[in-house]
Amino acid sequence: MVVVSPRLLYMQVKERKLAECLHLLESDLEVQGLLKMANVMAVSRLGYNDHGVQHSRIVAGSALKLLDLLEGVTAPSIVRDGLGSLEDARVVVLCGAYLHDIGNAVHREDHELLGVYLAKPILERILLQIYEDRSLIEVLKTEILHCIYAHDEKKQALSVEAGVVKVADGVDMAEGRTRIPYRMDKPDMHLYSALAVEKVELLRGKEKPIKIKITMTNYAGLFQVEYVLMHKLETSGLRNLVEIEYRTKRGF
């Protein structure tokens, strides 16, 4: 059982290439600058919740954990299609999740497409410091760009890697961290629902490989599950592999 939080990322990064990749992402001035501006645009100007570096860390850690939970059930698309290794797939998931929201630095509208344009030169720079095989770099780059483009709930994910990134984006909803904008001075369903979700956990399910367990203070939190997580799950390609369990402090 794993609680969705920023700490989860550092628990998941064990392989050498993955550790190198995370270090490069976290120390890259352009990446960190884009994430800072993504927060300015999304939070300060549009009233959304965090879309900056903390959100990137939460989504990246959650996506890597979701990929782990699928082990033995379905292979990452890169492995299945003979394009790379499991470690390569984890690099794709890490980069795709960490960079998925950088397009918000330009504008919320079409931010997934803007993110693709912004991420391309960043990925070329970072992957060249980890890999020597240029053909493999091109494969990984395009797979990562697909993760960024397909994280929006309206876009169909066409790879397992993109699917786990999309679902991971949806599970960042605890303690008011909704993907739906709300205002503290305007009490409505968005506000009550966002504040109702207390904790999200990722674990192995009994009937399906992934169980997402959501603890709420009251059932207003179901609004978040329905309008954020479920919409993303439906276009993730992983719908049949995920079960969702929710409960309040009073029980199921």
Instruction: Tell me the three state secondary structure of residue 94.
Output: helix
Q: What is the pLDDT of residues 74-123, one digit of tens each?
A: 999 999 999 999 999 999 999 999 999 999 999 989 999 999 999 999 99
> In the predicted model, what is the mean pLDDT of residues 153-172?
96
Alpha helical stretches, state H, the chain: 7-12, 16-27, 29-39, 53-69, 77-80, 86-99, 111-127, 134-150, 160-171, 189-196, 222-224, 230-234
Helix axes 86-99, 160-171, angle to 10 degrees: 40
Q: How far apart are CA 212 and CA 109, in angstroms?
A: 29
pLDDT of 220 strictly over 80: no
Residue 74's pLDDT is 96
Residue 44's pLDDT is 76
Mean pLDDT of the chain: 89
Residue 222's pLDDT is 78
Q: How far apart are CA 25 and CA 95, in angstroms?
A: 8
pLDDT of 177 strictly over 70: no
> In the predicted model, what is the mean pLDDT of residues 226-252?
87
CATH number for the domain harbouring residue 130: 1.10.3210
Residue 251's pLDDT is 52
CA-derived radius of gyration, the chain: 17
List the single range of 50-59, 93-102, 155-164 with lowest mean pLDDT. Answer: 50-59
The percent of residues above 70 in pLDDT, for the chain, comes to 88
Residue 67 CA from chain centroid, whole number: 11
pLDDT of 182 strictly over 60: no
Instruction: Tell me the three state secondary structure of residue 60.
Output: helix
Residue 247's pLDDT is 84
pLDDT of 252 strictly over 70: no
Burial of 137 (0-12, 13-18, 19+ CB in 10 A): middle
Q: What is the DSSP string of 8-40?
A: HHHHH--SHHHHHHHHHHHH-HHHHHHHHHHHI
Residue 9's pLDDT is 95
Residue 35: which domain range?
2-248
Q: Which residues pair with 222 in a beta bridge?
A: none
Confidence of residue 185 (pLDDT cuts 50, 70, 90): very low
Residue 188's pLDDT is 45
* Global pTM value: 0.91
Residue with more model confidence, 185 or 65 = 65
For the chain, what is the domain count? 1
For tokens 């990446």, the residue is 31
Q: What is the pLDDT of residues 30-53, one digit of tens each?
A: 999 999 999 898 777 876 776 789
Q: How far apart are CA 6 and CA 226, in angstroms?
A: 23
